Amino acid sequence: MASRRYARVDRTVCVACGACASVCPKGAAAVSHGCWAEIDPAACVGCGLCAKTCPAGCIALAERTDDR
């Protein structure tokens, strides 16, 4: 069963360092084209490790809606 929460990245703040990808236990986070991190909501288990690690504080956990 999917987690009720998932991580979301604020692209305007992300520095694309990849710290989130290095700690994500599910491999759901990746840096896209060197511009910002992206987290696959389908793979994300909402553990919050990426949000805790992100040095720019640009990752937040959001509640899933029906379509996420």
Task: Enumerate binding residues for another protein (CB under 8 A).
Answer: 13, 15-19, 21-22, 25-27, 31, 33-35, 52-57
Output the smallest distance, CB 8 to another protein, in A. 17
For residue 38, which of 67, 4, 9, 6 has the smallest C-alpha distance? 9
Give the type of residue at 43. Answer: A
Output the smallest distance, CB 17 to another protein, in A. 4
Output the smallest distance, CB 66 to another protein, in A. 27
CA-angle at 31, arms to 35 and 44, nearest 5°: 135
